Structure 1
Amino acid sequence: MKGKNIICISQTTWEGEFTKSTVQLLSILAENNNVFFVEYPFTLKDVVMSVLGKQRAQVSRMLGFKSRIKKIETPNGATVNHVVMPPVLPVDFLKNETLFKSFFSVNSFIYKNQLRKIIKKFNLENPIVITAYNPMYGLPMIGQLKELLNVYYCYDGMDTQRHRSRIFNIEKQFCEKVDGIITTSDYLNSEKKKLNKQTYVVKNGVDFNLFVPHAKKTITSGSSQKKVGYIGTLDFRFDIDIMEYAVKELPHIIFEFTGYLLNQNIKERLSKYENVSFFGSVKPNEVPELLSNYDLGIIPYKMDEVNKNIYPLKINEYLAVGVPVVMTAFADLTDFKAMAKSAHTKTLFKEFIESELKNDTDSLIQERIAFAKQNSWEGRAKEFESILENFVSKKQKL
């Protein structure tokens, strides 16, 4: 796919403290296409909090004192147009639906008006609009941007933390109206296909070229103390009970947790153990070297309805540096059946950690690295492009 105008209505920022599938895919699509990445709009409250130093938002760009659009060079040498929207009204707290819809219509107008200005200024004819996990703003934009195609990129299940329970109905409407949906897991695909037959899967990948220079060559000496690590957001998805059991039962093993701490209970319950350490977030390009210091990587997520949707980015990242992976059975990740251990109980989780550390070999390290290479973002981007081309072809035949 070449020469297309792509506008991404995102739920996140471009930069941040963790790897984002949207950023990885768009960086590659930008090699041959004109990509505009639109950050999730901050509110007037965020502006005030940033001025007071309690948040970090690009206030000068949001208010128009500096250009709302700037070019960002990606690691692969492509260029993405990075867009910051004007601040909108804080409305998510409103319980009354009539009031919410009234005030949110103002936000939609601000958002639509800004996008139309960009489309006009840069002559973005027939844009392909990709809404990345943001049906709240994606829904009111359908048919408003003279788009060639409107695609929903869904990489997680909806929750009520930000938009309350109203988000479920909004996402349902959005799924039914878009030209197609691309999900990141088989479970998400099966759910969205009930709402839109044009639903396909492109699973998460790994920046293999970034990770492989730090890949292990051999297992750590058996006499040294083993180190188990987790890198990622520490939030409500994290299963504290299972993790605490393993930490308590394996006092001879070091456990390190690195990432943005959103659930303070995790640190409060685990930091009392001498074999546990917590570290703040690191930049995505710092992750490979950190992972290479581990003897095993863990993904201790709760086994609940929300986590069923997940295809975790970190699983391929762990494998890319050659470390074994032990996770809870939070999702149906059959692709990794031969590469990672999946535990349904706290006892199994603990036992898998022990056995994987004890039985690791140099040949298994190489098998993991080879497996991760097959899941590179370059390969995923080709799959993504192919599906977009298929959507375009079907749309043009109508």
Structure 2
Amino acid sequence: MKQFDSIICIAQTSWKGDFQKAVVQLMTELSVNHRILFVDYLYTIKDLAQGMAGRPDIPVRKIMHLNNPLSKITTEHGGELYVWSPPVMMPINWLAARTHDQLLSWNTDRLVNGVRDVMRRLNMHRPLVINAFNPVVGLPLLGKLNECATIYYCFDEITTAGDWMSRHGQRYEDAYLRRVDAVIATSETLRQDKSAQQPNTFCVKNGANFDLFNQTRQLAQKQPPVTPVVGYLGTADNRVNIDIMEHCARTMPDVNFEFIGEVPEPKLTERLGGFSNVTFIPPRQPEELPPLLARLSVGIIPFVCNKHTYTIYPLKINEYLAAGLPVVSTPFSILDDFAGIIELADTPEAFAQAIRRALADNDSQRMQERVDTAQANSWERRAREFEAVIQQVPKAWRQEQPA
């Protein structure tokens, strides 16, 4: 029997965006059986200034609470959840530890007061807190929301997460891991790492919005690609192996390469922008992706192999497979789940050869195997795995005693 009347998710990401987010997908699925309050991204005064200066992705009116900061969302599965935009916070990530910690108390008090007010309005009294990769906020928040338990949802290696988190993140995560009731990691390598400090650590891997990305297959059947197009979906940052991509673009002039998403790594555009067969497509809303993927013949994950990427279980692998696409990847992490389904290659030459094989891998049975693999990894199934972990946390779920 569950010991909570609601789930409050404290995230390190916004609800809306130009790409699929694991925590958003999970909360959407969990909303079928639970009341959910999603605490949106904690915008700062710096963000507000940038928004007022014209940055389009910052919702100025909402974070100033000129619009109602609490939104009710009805999901396609019939669930309901609430998304709340917190008040503006102080920007403190760049500060030295002592000053950072002092101002964090101010931010935390501001956040707690706001969340408690929303809890009263929504008649939420005894929540389960799920902290999605935000231990800096999570640690001082412990015990302040009358929560029955706290689960830390860890989907990245915090020491390599960039200045926005790694500057203070590791010392907060180390303490947080010891005090939460359980940890759910998105890869086996992350699970192994975090379990050294928190024995109640479980692995629930990333999934795919199967129904959305499987639309690609129907669109492609109506209008099959004429020219071979190899695509990369998602943020093209310093994880991408530029040497591999440059070699492929140069030695495969008959193949077009498309990067769909943000490109924050300038070296990518510098080294690949001069090739006529390389195109960079700006980010799109998730529902706009199927027509773009329908043009592809192969999906790629050309990540470098290092400590950071070793902890990753990429969202895009199941999204490609749901679309029926052959996948070529570097062996950047433990990808045993996809043995015999995807191609692995670790050098520029081998990667180009693997793409050639993948372009010819269009047998209908092979395509169905890819789709079946993605369906087995849908977010619906991942949510069931997530819920099974919740039921193993004694403070969150009391086991029924046999009569």
Band of TM-score, shorter chain? over 0.9
Q: CA deviation at 1:161?
A: 2.3
> In 2, distance between residues paired with 1:176 and 1:10?
19
Q: 1:332 aligns with which of 314, 330, 334?
A: 334
Contact 1:218–1:361 at 8 Å: present in 2 too?
no
Unaligned runs of 5+ in 1: none
Aligned match of 1:241? 243
CA distance in 1, matches of 2:224, 2:235: 30
| Matched pairs, number | 395
Q: Does residue 309 of structure 1 match 2:311? A: yes
Alpha-carbon separation, structure 1, partners of 2:242 and 2:123: 51
Distance in 2 between residues matched to 1:219 and 1:226, nearest whole Å: 16
In the TM superposition, residue 255 of structure 1 has moved relative to its aligned partner by 0.8
Cross-structure match for 2:134: 134
How far has the Cα of 1:220 moved from its partner? Answer: 9.5
Query: 1:261 offset after TM fit, Å?
Result: 1.9
Deviations 1:320-348 (A, max 9, x none): 11110001111111101111112222221
Equivalent position to 2:298, from 293, 296, 299: 296
User: What is the CA-CA distance between 1:60 and the residue it aligns to?
Assistant: 2.5
- Aligned partner of 2:103 in structure 1 is 103
CA deviations over 1:156-206 (Å, ceiling 9, x no partner): 111232034321111111111100011111111111111111111111111
2:27 aligned residue: 26
Residue 219 of structure 1 and its aligned partner are, at CA, apart by: 12
**How far, CA to CA, are the matches of 2:37 and 2:244 in structure 1?**
42
**1:113 aligned partner:** 113
Is the CA contact 1:292–1:323 (under 8 Å) kept in the aligned structure 2? no
Q: Conserved in 2, the CA contact under 8 Å of 1:220 and 1:295?
A: no
Partner of residue 347, structure 1: 349
C-alpha distance 177-38 of structure 1, shift in aligned 2 (>3 A): same
The question of whether the paired residues in 2 share the 8 Å contact of 1:218 and 1:365 is answered with no
Which residue of the partner structure matches residue 196 of structure 2? 194
Q: Secondary structure at the match of 1:9?
A: strand
Conserved in 2, the CA contact under 8 Å of 1:6 and 1:129? yes
- Given that 1:152 and 1:181 are in contact with CA atoms closer than 8 Å, whether structure 2 keeps it comes out as yes
| TM-score, scaled to structure 2 | 0.93
Preserved contact between residue 93 and residue 167 of structure 2 (Cα < 8 Å): no
The two structures, once aligned, show a CA RMSD in angstroms of: 2.1
1:205 maps to 207
Residues 357 and 179 (structure 1 numbering): CA distance in 2 closer, same or farther, change over 3 Å?
same
Q: Secondary structure at the match of 1:390?
A: coil
Q: In the alignment, is the contact (CA less than 8 A) between 2:12 and 2:134 conserved in 1?
A: yes
8 Å Cα contact 2:322-2:375 kept in structure 1? yes
Alpha-carbon distance, 1:393 to partner: 5.7
Residues 243-285 of structure 1: CA deviation (Å, up to 9, x unaligned):
1111111111111111112122211211211111111111111
How many angstroms apart in 1 are the aligned matches of 2:44 and 2:395?
A: 38
User: Is the CA contact 1:17–1:260 (under 8 Å) kept in the aligned structure 2?
Assistant: no
> Which of 343, 364, 367 is matched with 2:366 structurally?
364
How far did residue 70 of structure 1 move?
Answer: 1.3
Mapped to 2, the partners of 1:36 and 1:219 lie a distance apart of 41
User: What residue ranges of structure 2 are gaps of 5+ in the alignment?
Assistant: none
Q: Percent identity?
A: 35
Which amino acid counterpart does residue 79 of structure 1 have in structure 2?
A: E
The letter for the 2-side match of 1:7 is I
Displacement after TM superposition at 1:395 (Å): 6.8
Is the CA contact (8 Å cut-off) linking 2:94 and 2:167 kept in structure 1?
A: no
- TM-score normalized by the length of structure 1: 0.94
User: Structure 1 residues 121-130 or 175-184, which shifts more?
Assistant: 121-130
Aligned residues of 1:203 and 1:380 also touching (Cα < 8 A): yes
Q: Deviations over 1:74-99 (max 9, x none)?
A: 232322101101111111121x2211
Shift of 1:302: 1.4
Alignment partner, residue 5 of structure 2: 4
Deviations along 1:81-125, one digit per CA (max 9) or x if unpaired, are: 01101111111121x221111122211111122122222332312
Query: Are the equivalent residues in 1 in contact too, given 2:309–2:332 (CA < 8 A)?
Result: yes
Using a 3 Å threshold, how does the CA distance of structure 1 residues 52 and 251 change in structure 2: closer, same or farther?
same
Give the drift of 1:218: 6.9
Q: Is the Cα–Cα contact under 8 Å of residues 46 and 55 in structure 1 kept in the other structure?
A: no
Partners of 1:296 and 1:395 in 2: CA distance: 44
Correspondence for 1:144: 144
* Structure 1 residue 55, shift from structure 2 partner: 4.8
The question of whether the paired residues in 1 share the 8 Å contact of 2:39 and 2:84 is answered with yes
What residue is the counterpart of 1:179 in the other structure?
Answer: 181
**Mapped partners of 1:213, 1:359: distance in 2:** 20
Which residue of 1 is the match for residue 378 of structure 2?
376
| Aligned residue type for 1:156 | D
Shift of 1:58: 2.5
- Give CA-to-partner distance per residue, 1:294-341, whole Å, 9 cap, x none: 110001111111111111111111111111000111111110111111
Match of 2:254 in 1: 252
SS in 1 for 2:164: coil
Of 9-18 and 202-211, more deviation after overlay is shown by: 202-211
C-alpha distance in structure 1 between counterparts of 2:258 and 2:169, whole Å: 35
Q: How far 1:59 sits from its partner (Å)?
A: 2.5
| AA matched with 1:310 | I
SS at the partner of 2:18? coil
The CA deviation at 1:233 is 0.9
Deviation at 1:351, TM superposition (A): 1.3
